[in-house]
């Protein structure tokens, strides 16, 4: 049975602030006229107003004895009655008439006029994915209020919800185990049998040490073993993941003796299948997380190494750019004398160790996997001008119109 405190089932609060009393229980002019029309004496008007405001606030007609004194005193004040006037009408016939006129005034249907069907339909649909009884009760309350039904007693609602939930679970157990063959049943039964002093059921509950690369072999061995026990996924293809998790958690909370005591075989096998499936998923996830950590670590190390290489090659890049700048400067100063230009370029190369040394440095720079921004910054300065410099050294160049090198 679900605890009413864990649900949204409406109840009277132990105490209310003045603002809450004003908001929830102050009668409007229409409500005062309604009270005056259908009740004459002081006790009758207090009873009718109490039931009306209770129905509005709670969604059901409260028992008069359960109305907190703070609310009764406030309602007396609203009717300009002495605070000592707390008597209510006890005549069943009168109370029945009050309930009828309140339902008519608020356009609310009694629970008996179809509320049970509303609850059964809503909970049956939701129970295939939702698990917590309190959540299902909240859903039932929500649907009843939306369709303007009076709420039943909490115990009535709780029993109905639990019954529908049980029926849905029985159907799920049947669906999970429908294709289970005799050999597969035997394998599931074997999980509960002692082997080397322990059961495989308890071994599944035990997990290897922390999921780190150091313990990768343990987790890999565990996954191989779990998947060899039974391929569970085919049995759960049409079952909501939330229900699989719930059944797995239910199995994990039981010990071997409790699992053996489950006489309903579809339920026992379903719990074991979900339990084994969840263990397989968690182990596989742990292995994937190890891989992701390894990839992240490798990526970080690669970025660090790339930065180190970039720092190491920065000096070479700057030297190559300096050579290029000197060649440009030489070209500007000797635009019409090809022989002098060639000799000047050779002298520049000689100052930097010679053409072969520069070629070796260029190959080192060209082979470096630069980051995009750095690569773009020196593409024009290195990749395009060095072939031209070798053309200069070989004499295969000439100055075109406007002094452009061709």
What size, in residues, is the chain?
406
Q: Which residues of 216-244 are buried (b: 16+ CB within 10 A; e: fewer)?
A: beebeebbeebeebbebeebbeebeeebb
pLDDT tens track for 113-165:
999 999 999 999 999 998 889 999 999 999 999 999 999 999 999 999 999 99
Instruction: Give CA–CA dist 59/53, Å, rounded.
Output: 10
The residue among 83 and 297 whose pLDDT is bigger is 297
Whether the per-residue pLDDT at 84 is higher than 70: the answer is: no
CA 257, 264, 269, 158 torsion-angle sign: negative
The residue among 295 and 78 whose pLDDT is bigger is 78
User: What are the Cα distances from residue 20, in Å, to 25, 86, 102, 205, 357?
Assistant: 8, 21, 22, 51, 89
Q: What is the average pLDDT across 343-365?
A: 77
Which position has the token pair 């090659």?
313
Q: What local confidence, expressed as pLDDT, does residue 107 receive?
A: 94
Contacts of residue 287, Cβ cutoff 8 Å, sequence gap at least 6: 211, 216, 219, 220, 223
Whether the per-residue pLDDT at 369 is higher than 60: the answer is: no
Q: What local confidence, expressed as pLDDT, does residue 298 receive?
A: 84
pLDDT tens track for 16-32:
999 999 999 999 999 99
Whether the per-residue pLDDT at 190 is higher than 70: the answer is: yes
pLDDT tens track for 192-224:
999 888 999 999 998 877 767 778 888 889 999
Q: What local confidence, expressed as pLDDT, does residue 138 receive?
A: 96
Q: What is the average pLDDT across 363-376?
A: 57
Instruction: Give CA–CA dist 273/233, Å, rounded.
Output: 9
The residue among 312 and 40 whose pLDDT is bigger is 40
Q: What does pLDDT average to over the chain?
A: 84
What is the pLDDT confidence band of residue 377, given thresholds at 50, 70 and 90? very low
Percent of the chain with pLDDT over 90: 53
Report for 213-222, 266-275, 308-317: range of highest mean pLDDT = 266-275
- Per-residue tokens: 45: 């008007």
Instruction: Give CA–CA dist 11/277, Å, rounded.
Output: 41
By mean pLDDT, which of 14-23, 37-46, 83-92, 217-226 is the weakest?
Answer: 83-92
- Per-residue tokens: 307: 């930065």
């Amino acid at each position: 049975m679900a605890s009413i405190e864990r649900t949204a089932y409406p109840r009277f609060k132990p105490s209310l602030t003045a603002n809450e009393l004003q908001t929830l229980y102050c009668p409007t002019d229409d409500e005062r006229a309604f009270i005056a029309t259908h009740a004459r004496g002081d006790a009758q008007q207090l009873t009718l107003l109490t039931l009306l405001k209770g129905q509005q606030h709670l969604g059901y007609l409260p028992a008069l004895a359960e109305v907190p004194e703070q609310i009764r005193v406030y309602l007396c004040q609203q009717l300009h009655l002495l605070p000592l006037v707390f008597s209510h009408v006890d005549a069943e016939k009168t109370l029945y008439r009050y309930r009828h006129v309140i339902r008519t005034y608020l356009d609310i249907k009694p629970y008996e006029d179809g509320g049970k069907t509303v609850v059964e339909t809503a909970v049956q649909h939701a129970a295939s994915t939702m698990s917590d009884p309190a959540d299902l009760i909240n859903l039932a309350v929500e649907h009843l209020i939306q369709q303007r039904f009076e709420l039943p007693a909490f115990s009535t609602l709780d029993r109905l919800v639990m019954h529908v939930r049980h029926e849905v679970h029985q159907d799920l157990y049947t669906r999970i185990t429908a294709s289970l063959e005799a050999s597969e049943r035997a394998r599931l039964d074997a999980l509960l049998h002692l082997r080397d002093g322990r059961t495989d059921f308890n071994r599944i509950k035990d997990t290897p040490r922390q999921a780190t690369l150091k313990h990768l072999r343990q987790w890999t061995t565990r996954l191989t073993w779990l998947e060899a026990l039974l391929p569970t996924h085919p049995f759960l293809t049409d079952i909501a993941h939330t229900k699989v998790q719930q059944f797995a958690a239910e199995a994990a909370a039981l010990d071997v003796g409790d699992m053996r005591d489950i006489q309903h075989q579809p339920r026992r096998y379903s719990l074991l299948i979900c339990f084994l499936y969840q263990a397989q998923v968690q182990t596989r996830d742990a292995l994937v997380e190890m891989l992701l950590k390894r990839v992240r670590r490798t990526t970080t190390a690669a970025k660090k190494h790339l930065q180190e290489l970039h720092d190491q090659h920065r000096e070479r890049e700057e030297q190559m750019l300096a050579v290029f700048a000197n060649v440009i400067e030489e070209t500007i100063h000797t635009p019409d004398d090809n022989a002098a230009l060639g000799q000047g370029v050779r002298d520049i190369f000689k100052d930097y160790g010679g053409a072969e040394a520069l070629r070796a440095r260029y190959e080192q720079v060209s082979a470096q996997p630069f980051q995009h921004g750095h690569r773009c910054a020196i593409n024009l300065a290195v990749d395009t001008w060095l072939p031209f410099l070798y053309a200069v050294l070989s004499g295969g160049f000439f100055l075109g119109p406007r002094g452009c090198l061709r």
